[in-house]
């Protein structure tokens, strides 16, 4: 066995970015536990290799997550890198998304990574090493546009959870990376992956049509190449330490820079009021 070989555990590896990541990791000589809801599809997409273990895992199932981790450890003995990649996309106005759709968005894209990470952390703690990569989105940093409120809620949640988790697990030698991709040409905007809300509120009628057209027209025209992003993840994961955050794509960098500028402008606009909110000095207190 190659001494530098790491064991990667990837969710949603049967298609889209997850499949590209699995291919890039295998090409770099590492081992892959390629998980997904359909293991036949994983085998068809990734082929066969002694470095590859396809395992069934619906990220909404804690039982699946625990069984997949057991299978991974019994085959490869360890897990070095977890990629929380699987997600869904419920697109539409918040008022037109049903409560069940919002629940499902959060169950797959926020609670799903938590389920898988909870199952893997004991393995990484025992090893005193590991790297957890969670795929967020530009919409996990800046979401000032229509149709993504539920998706953005899941990705902002993912980021807050990851940032705090980092502090909790870094003392065990476990590192974390949040990835913010811009638009990448995967299957995310196909009918298989994007679930649009049913029109139900007439006030949105005029705006809904052009937006639907916009989102559907983006499918197949995204500028980002997921195979390149996959290779970039292999590169950053080999760094000591890996970056806490990786903004993926020129479009994602522009979105992030705008968000930083907006936050700074909001601070400056109210700095005086914001900094005047402490209790007044107690009478008789001595200034230090
Ligand atoms: N593509 C982009 O432009 C873009 C931009 C920003 C962020 N992202 C993020 O990148 C990640 C990958 O998305 P993608 O672009 O590759 O989308 P995709 O082509 O639609 O792939 C989504 C993957 O998630 C899996 N999945 C969905 N629900 C699942 C569940 N309950 N359990 C296990 N797997 C499940 C799918 O597997 P099935 O075959 O079983 O459905 C599929 O493998 C996601 O986190 C997404 O939010 C993508």
3-state secondary structure of 224: strand
State the pLDDT at residue 110: 98
Whether the pLDDT of residue 63 is over 60: the answer is: yes
Whether the pLDDT of residue 288 is over 70: the answer is: no
Taking the CA of residue 12 as reference, the ligand 1 atom at the shortest distance is 43
Predicted model pTM: 0.97
Whether the pLDDT of residue 1 is over 60: the answer is: no
- How many structural domains does the chain have? 1
Cα 188 to averaged position of ligand 1 atoms, centre (Å): 6
State the pLDDT at residue 235: 98
Quick one: average pLDDT of 250-274? 98
Closest Cα to atom 11 of ligand 1: 85
Q: Is 16 left (phi over 0), alpha (psi -120 to 50) or beta?
A: left
State the pLDDT at residue 283: 76
Quick one: average pLDDT of 103-117? 98
The percentage of the chain sitting over the pLDDT mark of 90, rounded to a whole number, equals: 95
State the pLDDT at residue 287: 63
Query: Are 189 and 254 in contact, with CB atoms under 8 Å apart?
Result: no
State the pLDDT at residue 285: 74
In a domain, 245, yes or no: yes
pLDDT tier for residue 284 given thresholds of 50, 70 and 90: confident
Which residue segment(s) compose the domain that 57 sits in?
A: 7-258
Quick one: average pLDDT of 232-241? 98
In a domain, 196, yes or no: yes
Q: Which residues line ligand 1 (CB under 6 A)?
A: 11-12, 14-18, 36-38, 58-60, 85-88, 108, 135, 137, 181, 183-184, 186-188, 193, 222
Taking the CA of residue 109 as reference, the ligand 1 atom at the shortest distance is 45
Please list, residue by residue across 248-267, b when 16 or more beta carbons sit within 10 angstroms of its beta carbon and e when fewer do: bbebbeebbeeeeeeeeeee
In a domain, 271, yes or no: no
Cα 165 to averaged position of ligand 1 atoms, centre (Å): 22
Which residue from 113, 122, 124, 6 is spatially nearest to 62, judged by alpha carbons? 113
Cα 121 to averaged position of ligand 1 atoms, centre (Å): 22
pLDDT tier for residue 282 given thresholds of 50, 70 and 90: confident
In a domain, 1, yes or no: no
In a domain, 268, yes or no: no
In a domain, 279, yes or no: no
In a domain, 178, yes or no: yes
Mean pLDDT of the chain: 96
Taking the CA of residue 194 as reference, the ligand 1 atom at the shortest distance is 20
At 7-59, the pLDDT tens digits run 999 999 999 999 999 999 999 999 999 999 999 999 999 999 999 999 999 99
Quick one: average pLDDT of 138-165? 97
At 153-188, the pLDDT tens digits run 999 999 999 999 999 999 999 999 999 999 999 999
- CATH code at 144? 3.40.50.720
pLDDT tier for residue 3 given thresholds of 50, 70 and 90: low
Quick one: average pLDDT of 105-130? 98
Cα 268 to averaged position of ligand 1 atoms, centre (Å): 38
State the pLDDT at residue 254: 98
Rounded to whole angstroms, the Cα distance separating 185 from 67 reads: 31
Query: Are 81 and 134 in contact, with CB atoms under 8 Å apart?
Result: no
pLDDT tier for residue 261 given thresholds of 50, 70 and 90: very high
HEC sequence for 99-115: HHHHHHHHHHHHHHHHH
Cα 231 from chain centre: 17
Quick one: average pLDDT of 236-260? 98
In a domain, 250, yes or no: yes
- Which residues are the active-site residues? 151
Taking the CA of residue 41 as reference, the ligand 1 atom at the shortest distance is 39
Cα 27 to averaged position of ligand 1 atoms, centre (Å): 21
Ligand 1, pocket-test mutation among 10, 11, 17, most atoms within 8 A of CB: 17
């Amino acid at each position: 066995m190659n001494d530098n070989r790491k064991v990667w555990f990837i969710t949603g590896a049967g298609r889209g970015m997850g499949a590209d990541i699995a291919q890039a990791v295998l090409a770099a000589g590492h081992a892959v536990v390629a998980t997904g809801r359909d293991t036949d599809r994983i085998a068809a997409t990734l082929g066969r290799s002694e470095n590859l273990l396809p395992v069934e895992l619906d990220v909404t199932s804690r039982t699946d997550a625990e069984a997949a981790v057991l299978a991974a450890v019994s085959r490869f003995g360890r897990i070095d890198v977890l990629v929380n990649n699987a997600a869904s996309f419920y697109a539409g106005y918040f008022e037109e998304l049903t409560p069940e759709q919002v629940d499902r968005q959060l169950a797959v894209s926020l609670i799903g990574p938590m389920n898988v990470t909870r199952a893997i952390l004991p393995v990484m703690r025992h090893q005193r090493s590991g790297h957890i990569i969670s795929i967020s989105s530009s919409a996990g940093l800046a979401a000032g546009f229509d149709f993504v409120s539920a998706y953005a809620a899941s990705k902002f949640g993912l980021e807050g959870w990851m940032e705090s988790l980092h502090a909790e697990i870094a003392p065990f030698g476990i590192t974390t990376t949040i990835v913010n991709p811009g638009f990448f040409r995967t299957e995310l905007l196909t009918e298989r992956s994007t679930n649009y809300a049913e029109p139900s509120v007439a006030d949105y009628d005029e705006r809904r049509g052009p937006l639907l057209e916009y989102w559907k027209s983006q499918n197949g025209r995204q500028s980002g190449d997921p195979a390149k992003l996959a290779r970039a993840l292999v590169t950053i994961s080999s760094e000591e330490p890996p970056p806490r955050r990786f903004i993926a794509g020129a479009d994602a960098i522009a979105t992030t820079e705008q968000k930083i500028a907006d936050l700074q402008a909001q601070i400056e606009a109210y700095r005086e009021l914001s900094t005047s909110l402490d209790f007044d000095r107690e009478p008789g207190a001595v200034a230090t």
